Structure 1
């Protein structure tokens, strides 16, 4: 497996530098990621996290302890995720699970990891269910939740588009339905009249071309794309090919220029509206930004093959720094319990988040990021506009 092999090489190097005692006292962190399958574009996130952990280890670890990173491919398949997570918990005996990716995949392991009392930290999915400390005290989110994001788009539509008729393409699972719920929540009592079509797609199907053509036939002038990278690229490309002159909204999980918009066609992607919470590497306004310069330095040194136009690499970097902050706060001899306590009591600024956005958690709020800003794609890069919108004001 990708992470297993590369960790072994890193561990050998670390042992030469730090000695066997440090290697034996490693913090074992488990992860699942779709390095293959329909959501394989997200695999870049796992590779970036691994690169950042290599950086931490090369610089002496956390409180002198090395990090053992074990990341397995689950192909974005819930049964495979269950199999791999059981392996991580019962065979590898990891201290914590971190950044496991996907709503359906994390849903499949949600009860299991909580029953096993394994900290399940900063999952890479914005479903609202990860912020439920009363019922699932082991699981925390990281990115802004999908219902909030959907509500932000709804508010913009009602304030800026005359006589909106909204067509929605969404993945037929909790991830897609969370966005749908957020859009309806934001539209309020006008939802039934303004949404003219809701069309689901299945992860196993090859394309969403026919769904896009069908949605255009409704006469909608707003197209909300709730899709993972492969299907988002298809929807963007097809809606442009058929001349659908709707205002198009794209969910944040598929805003990567390198991973989604280039495959769809940069010209075809022009005018897309989304919402972000991190500085975009392709945005000229951050060309001389010190935090982005530090990220580029990291990429050049630890992940030289990584795509610096992809938001998945900035995502992996920022979420890995959040983990580092939690481990540092947990203390030198921290076990799973102390790491969980630290992760759920953070109040820190993580580099490359947008100005005004902070990582903040508490024992009653497991959602670290609860603010976003609207942005529009100009054919080359995303441009932010308006103010940073916090969850309570959306």
Structure 2
């Protein structure tokens, strides 16, 4: 009888252990969820970049992200998985973008596409990626169209939107020059048109009086000199300039030649000292205004800053010889750091749906290279990660911030 009881107890214990083991196995299996592009050892991330063509100044963003992910891999990866970053050149040409994105998704089988560059180029693949349900994550363009979770639940931008930045410019103009004569010079696509819309959001009915000229250019134009001559002829005393780096440098140079000195507000897209101000001439760039959200690695004010120390240590080791005064480096670093945060939050659920869910669940995340007080916040109905800026002016070869951090939320 005693032996029978013991055997029963053993059987019960064995059954309990077996059940526990089965549950543990099921639980482990339940915890690990993968879509195409993810496994126990790897996360495949796709990217397209303008390594050539009219926007090639941005190519360094992709190189920075590649180097950042290499640093992460050298330190054990994310939750034990290495990042396989596959980046192609699309030459800032929409047909080429379509070809490269299809290759990444259908041949390389990436889990998602991260920080792909350009408004016209990314617009060309937005519907395709949303139909395929492949995240188009942290798009490297500030078009306000990327914040539309209702119609495009698989697309999310990264930097503050152009429209929001234009609103801040408009508020600044009204305060400093209420009777301004404003010329708007913009790229003829969603990127440029967002600035025009943002200005008019604030000016309202007064826009007809304030804006004396709206002049657009095409990215295929070799030179925009004739546009600048025409704009000077309007008698405008304020220029709102939403051009990409190559054309921004040409604009600054031509304005100096013509000795045209209006209040010059330049898009955050083209504030790189290395890629725009130096080629245009530091003297010619003196006094230009913009709004920013990133620290400048070449500015001595950040020397003791903890985040900047991390960035400089990274650049020294993984990008030796890189031009730290190029704002595209600190941008690429911030985007890659935010991407890694999303992957950390994903844990072992590396499905495309969970990647989007975690990207839309960022709370007060502060990448190393963002200005103090500016944080990344997202939600299920808020696909605009950064919505704060500070006004700044180019003085003595560097950008000086002034005023408080301004919230650039729509309606704000």
**How would you bin the TM-score normalised by the shorter chain?**
over 0.9
Who is 2:238 aligned against?
222
Match of 2:390 among 366, 373, 378: 373
CA distance in 1, matches of 2:396, 2:155: 38
Give the TM-score, by structure 1 length: 0.93
Query: Does residue 156 of structure 2 align to residue 161 of structure 1?
Result: no
**Matched position secondary structure for 2:149:** coil
Who is 1:12 aligned against?
none
Aligned structure 1 segments of 4 or more residues deviating by more than 4 angstroms:
none
Match of 1:73 among 86, 89, 96: 89
- Cα offset for 1:28? 0.5
Query: Does residue 400 of structure 2 align to residue 383 of structure 1?
Result: yes
Who is 1:283 aligned against?
299
- Cα offset for 1:283? 2.5
Who is 2:278 aligned against?
262
Match of 1:306 among 322, 328, 344: 322
- Give 1:226-237 correspondences, 5 Å limit: 226-237=242-253
Q: Deviations over 1:208-237 (max 9, x none)?
A: 111011100110000111100000100011
Who is 1:4 aligned against?
none
- Cα offset for 1:189? 1.5
- Cα offset for 1:284? 2.7
Query: Does residue 379 of structure 2 align to residue 354 of structure 1?
Result: no
CA distance in 2, matches of 1:248, 1:283: 22
C-alpha RMSD over aligned residues: 1.3
Q: Deviations over 1:67-88 (max 9, x none)?
A: 1100000000001000000000
- Cα offset for 1:307? 1.3
CA distance in 1, matches of 2:129, 2:356: 13
Match of 1:121 among 137, 148, 151: 137
Who is 1:13 aligned against?
none
Give the TM-score, by structure 2 length: 0.89
- Cα offset for 1:333? 4.4
Query: Does residue 192 of structure 2 align to residue 182 of structure 1?
Result: no
Who is 2:32 aligned against?
none
Q: Deviations over 1:51-105 (max 9, x none)?
A: 0011011111000000110000000000100000000011011000000000000
CA distance in 2, matches of 1:177, 1:305: 37
- Cα offset for 1:23? 8.7
**Matched position secondary structure for 2:158:** coil
- Give 1:1-394 correspondences, 5 Å limit: 25-161=41-177, 163-347=179-363, 348-392=365-409, 394=412
**Matched position secondary structure for 1:64:** coil
Is the 1:166–1:197 Cα contact (8 Å) retained in structure 2? yes
**Matched position secondary structure for 2:204:** helix
- Cα offset for 1:144? 0.3
Moved more, 297-306 or 313-322: 297-306
- Cα offset for 1:162? 5.2
Q: Which has the larger radius of gyration?
A: 2
CA distance in 1, matches of 2:296, 2:324: 10
Is the 2:167–2:408 Cα contact (8 Å) retained in structure 1? no
- Cα offset for 1:291? 1.1
Q: Deviations over 1:237-258 (max 9, x none)?
A: 1111110020101000000000
